[in-house]
Amino acid sequence: MSAAARPSDPAALAAAATSSLILVHDPAARAVGPDYWDWSADAHHATATALGDLDDNRVRAAVARLADDPSDNTAAAGLTLALTDLLRRPGGEGTAVDALRAAAARTESLSRLLVQPGAPGRPARTGEAPDTTGLLAALAREPHHGAHPVDAAVVIPFRAPDDVTGRVRNLAAVLNALADQSHPRDRYRVVVVESDARPRWRELFADACDSYVFAPDPGRFNKSWTVNVGVVHGARPAELVCVLDGDILVDRDFVARAVERFRQPGTQAHWPFEDMLFLDAAASAQAVRARCLDGAPDPGQDRLRGVHLRRPPGGCVWLREDLFTRIGGMDERFCGWGGEDQDFVWRAERYGPMDRHRDPLVHLHHDRAAHRGDDGTPFYEDVERAGFCSWPCDSDFGRIDRNAPQPAGA
């Protein structure tokens, strides 16, 4: 098989091999993208096996340390450096180094997961992450709560059962970062849409955003419908809509940069990121402290440990409100985690061009929601049978009573 079209840079292959070893030994890293892990697991295991076949004491010591503790950033840095040196040697048929080179190149060619170790030699600050109350008390600018026309509206769909760890703190951090923006505060609106059996967190978040909307739904979380409710009942009138998950920490120029991009002729929609970095718990605490309490302009993602999910469709997307409405919003048949973001951007791109940029956004750690039913069936299977991108453009979307419990006898 020709290797001419495969990655060959020694440093990139070394980083990929280190990433594979971490993924093989760290269930939390694999959980960032369960399907993506399943699709590339064989390649990662083959790369880890090739690492074990290397006859190099420096590599063996680092491999042993990292296999024992996948979060050891110093061991990860040492392994990557040692592998880079090995892979810079001229190739020779049949050597263990050549086998690793081929395995790492294959992994780099098909995997959508790449671990980024944190900065070596700089242990994370100990202690709990900043608490929710402190983050909301430290808002740089107060919400305006206005319904006047704005340049942009940021819609955040949200649900956090009482026993779920991280989601409430994460939303507080997101709102804190959105309050600290270089764009004029009265020219953008922040909309939080809580969908649940009851407005569990209204008292906590209603005064921390411009518009709090409760969307009653006792069933599985329906992100698509929740976003649609937010656009219809909170975002309008706004020229631009940003659909932002409640765990994406943004930088200070997030809104201003997006508004400026839409001034370019022909611009209708974009992802502001290329690869999303999913932080672990310790790195999330570091990012929240830096961005929300220490006044940093961005989360400092280059120094943080996490897993890059390559070119994901969800997390954050910007588009003109006219385009959102023209395609009938998000497909409200999706219920439960998975599939809805991909379907939405496929339909959006059919009607308007979708650009990608490389802004410094990170995903904060939290308990992961199930993406399949008890029988292993993906939640989106019913929509898949009907056909992705089959949601009608003339759908009556965003009805706030769509999933409300029906009175007895109705």
pLDDT tens-digit profile of 8-17? Answer: 899 999 999 9
Helix (H) or strand (E) holding 356: strand 354-356
DSSP 2-40: --TTS---HHHHHHHHHHHHHHHH-HHHHTTSHHHHHHH
Please name every residue paired with 107 in a beta bridge, in sequence order, or none if there are none: none
Please name every residue paired with 283 in a beta bridge, in sequence order, or none if there are none: none
Domains and CATH numbers, the chain: 10-116 (no CATH), 138-370+378-386 (3.90.550.10)
Local confidence band at 162 (pLDDT 50, 70, 90 cut-offs): confident
Closest C-alpha to 23, from 363, 306, 360:
306
| Pairwise CA distance, residues 267 & 332, whole Å | 26
Closest C-alpha to 243, from 348, 364, 353, 123:
348
Burial class (CB in 10 A: 0-12, 13-18, 19+), 399: middle
Per-residue pLDDT, 366: 85
From 65-79, 113-127, 169-183, the region with the lowest mean pLDDT: 113-127
Please name every residue paired with 271 in a beta bridge, in sequence order, or none if there are none: 356
pLDDT at 354 exceeding the cut of 60: yes
| Pairwise CA distance, residues 193 & 252, whole Å | 23
Q: What length does the chain have? A: 410
| Pairwise CA distance, residues 305 & 68, whole Å | 17
Question: Structure pTM?
Answer: 0.92
Q: Mention every residue, 6+ apart, whose C-beta is less than 8 A from residue 391.
A: 327, 328, 330, 331, 332, 333, 343, 347
Summarised one tens digit per residue, pLDDT across range 288-347 is 999 999 999 999 999 999 999 999 988 999 999 999 999 999 999 988 777 899 999 999
pLDDT at 269 exceeding the cut of 90: yes
| Pairwise CA distance, residues 4 & 113, whole Å | 23
pLDDT at 21 exceeding the cut of 90: yes
27 versus 164: the higher-pLDDT residue is: 27
Closest C-alpha to 100, from 140, 52, 150:
52
Residue with tokens 């599985």: 220
| Pairwise CA distance, residues 97 & 133, whole Å | 53
| Pairwise CA distance, residues 89 & 56, whole Å | 14
27-35's contacts with Cβ under 8 Å and 24+ in sequence apart are 28/280, 29/70, 29/113, 29/115, 29/280, 29/307, 30/113, 31/368, 32/113, 32/278, 32/307, 32/309, 33/112, 33/113, 33/307, 33/309, 33/312, 34/371, 35/371
Please answer whether residues 115 and 22 qualify as being in contact, where contact means their C-beta atoms are separated by less than 8 angstroms.
yes
271 φ, ψ (degrees, to nearest 5): -90, 130
User: What is the share, in percent, of the chain residues with pLDDT greater than 90?
Assistant: 78
Mean local confidence (pLDDT), 49-64: 94
- Mutual angle of helices 73-87 and 57-68, in 10-degree steps: 150
Q: How many angstroms separate the Cα of 305 from the Cα of each of 61, 114, 272?
A: 21, 11, 21
Per-residue pLDDT, 126: 47
Per-residue pLDDT, 172: 97
